[in-house]
Amino acid sequence: MSEELLEELRPVAFGVAYRMLGSVAEAEDVVQEALLRVHRAVEQGERIESPRAYAATVTTRLAIDQLRSARARRETYVGEWLPEPLVTDPSGDPARRAEMADSLSLAFLVLLESLSPEQRAALLLHDVFDYGYREVAEIVGTSEGNARQLAARARRHVDERRPRFETSREQRDELARRFLAAAQAGDVGGLESLLAHDVELHGDGGGKVPALARSLHGRSRVARTLLAWARAGARIADASVQMVEVNGQPGAMTLDGAGGIISVMALDIGDGEIRAIRSVVNPDKLRHLGQVADVRALLRGQVGSGAAD
C-alpha cells in the first residue's frame, strides 16, 4: 500500500479515534496501529474494496478496546476530566466546518463519555461519519437492529443535554472578544452581562496544577472566579492571551513570556450568551499543542521560560 494512500486515511482514522477517546495521544496511538494493520492486510494479499471503510473499522474496534481499559483510569482521575483540546483551523468550507465542529466540541465529547463504547461508536459512525446501519453493525460486531438501537439510545441521551451553538460565526467571535476584554479589564459587570444565568465553569488540572475541584454554576460565582484567574495571569511576566478556535468553538490560549502554554479555554455560546466555559490546564493534555509552561513555578513567581518536563 502506498504511503500516499496511508496518509489520506490518517485524518479519517484520527477523526474517528479522537472523537471516540477524547485524547490526542491515545487517538494517535490507535491510528498508528490501525494503519499498520491496514498495510499488513494489503501486503498479505487481502482484498480490500474500500481502504477508507477498512481503516474506520479497525480504528473503531481498537478505540472500543482502548475505552474499556481507560474507564478505570478515568474513575481515579483527580478532579474533573475534560478532553484534550484541539486548536482547529477556522478556514475551509463553512457548512462542513459547522457540521463537524458540532461533533468536535468539548461539550459534545464530554457527553460521549457517559455512553458505552458501543453506543459511542454507533452514534459517531452513523450520525457524524454517515455510515449505514449495516456497516455500523459490521464494525461494532452486532446485528443491524442492535446497531440502530445503540445509536437511538445514544442519540436520545445526547440530544437531551446537547448544547445549541450560535449559527453566526461573527456573532460568537464578537461575544468571545468582549468576554476576553472584560476579563482582562477586571470588568465584573461587563463579564456578567455576557454570561448565561446558569452558566457553567469547568476546569481540568488532573492533579498536576491548581484547578477547580468541581464545576461551578451561576453567573456571579463564575464571573468572580474568572476575574481571579485573570488577576493571577496578569501577575505572570509578559503573559499573553490569544483568541483561538478550540474544537470548532471560540476560545483562548494563555501563554507565558516564553510562549509556553498555560491553558486552553473553550466557550459554548448559545442564544447570544456564554453558556459554558471549559478550561484545560493539565500540562499532559496540552503538550501536543507545543511547549508547555511550568505553571507551578510561574505561580511561585519563578517567571522564567520554564517548559515542563
**In the chain, what are the domains?**
3-161 (1.20.140.160), 169-299 (3.10.450.50)
At residue 304, the pLDDT reads: 44
Which residues, 6+ apart, have CB-to-CB distance to 198 below 8 Å?
Answer: 217, 218, 219, 275
66, three cell numbers: 482502548
Rounded to the nearest integer, the mean pLDDT of the chain is: 89
Q: What is the pLDDT of residues 184-242, one digit of tens each?
A: 999 999 999 999 999 999 999 999 988 888 999 999 999 999 999 998 888 888 889 99
- What length is written for the chain? 309
| Residue 275 contacts residue 199 (beta carbons within 8 Å) | yes
93 or 151, which is more confident? Answer: 151
Is the pLDDT at 13 greater than 50? The verdict is yes
At residue 299, the pLDDT reads: 73
CA-to-CA distance for 122 and 111, rounded, in angstroms? Answer: 14
Task: Indicate the pLDDT class of residue 94, thresholds 50, 70 and 90.
Answer: low
- Give the β-pairing of 249-255 and 261-270: antiparallel
Task: Indicate the pLDDT class of residue 72, thresholds 50, 70 and 90.
Answer: low
The 3-class secondary structure across the chain, one letter per residue, is CCHHHHHHHHHHHHHHHHHHHCCHHHHHHHHHHHHHHHHHHHHCCCCCCCHHHHHHHHHHHHHHHHHHHHHHHHHCCCCCCCCCCCECCCCCCHHHHHHHHHCCCHHHHHHHCCCCHHHHHHHHHHHHCCCCHHHHHHHHCCCHHHHHHHHHHHHHHHHHHCCCCCCCHHHHHHHHHHHHHHHHHCCHHHHHHHEEEEEEEEEECCCCCCCCCCCEECHHHHHHHHHHHHHHHHCCCCCEEEEEEECCEEEEEEECCCCCEEEEEEEEEECCEEEEEEEECCHHHCHHHCCEECHHHHHCCCCCCCECC
Burial of 3 (0-12, 13-18, 19+ CB in 10 A): exposed
Q: Which of 24-33, 225-234, 284-293 has the lowest mean pLDDT?
A: 225-234
